Amino acid sequence: MEDEKNWKLKLRYGKETTPYKHFTAIGDGVVGDLVDGFECQKGPAIMAIKTWATDADESADMLRVIGGKIGFEATGKIEIYETDPEEPPKDNPFGYGINFNTIS
């Protein structure tokens, strides 16, 4: 818990820096055969992913690319929000906290 607070405080007060911003990307699409570790009924769904990315466009690209690798095809609108991180930044852009919700 203390390590979590430390990296957040260091980022907030400029003791550590990163070229990346934190986003949450939410996209409409279709779930097919998901890779192990992910669960969602096949068909229309919404995918959400948290990203450390250089900008909102890269975050949207990450949703498309990572989603495609795990069995989700982004077919509709992708919304990007700048959000507070839950994981510290790394040396490269990355995504985490992926989840799916079916669309009825």
pLDDT tens-digit map of 14-64: 999 999 999 999 999 999 999 999 999 999 999 999 999 999 999 999 999
Residue 34 pLDDT: 95
- Cα–Cα distance, 91 to 36 (Å, whole number): 26
pLDDT tens-digit map of 53-91: 999 999 999 999 999 999 999 999 999 999 999 999 999
> Which residues are within 8 A (CB) of 102 and not within 5 positions of it... i.e. 6 or more apart?
31, 40, 41, 43, 44, 45
Q: Domain residue spans in the chain? A: 19-102
- Cα–Cα distance, 83 to 59 (Å, whole number): 12
Select from 28, 38, 34, 29 the least CA-distant residue to 98. 38
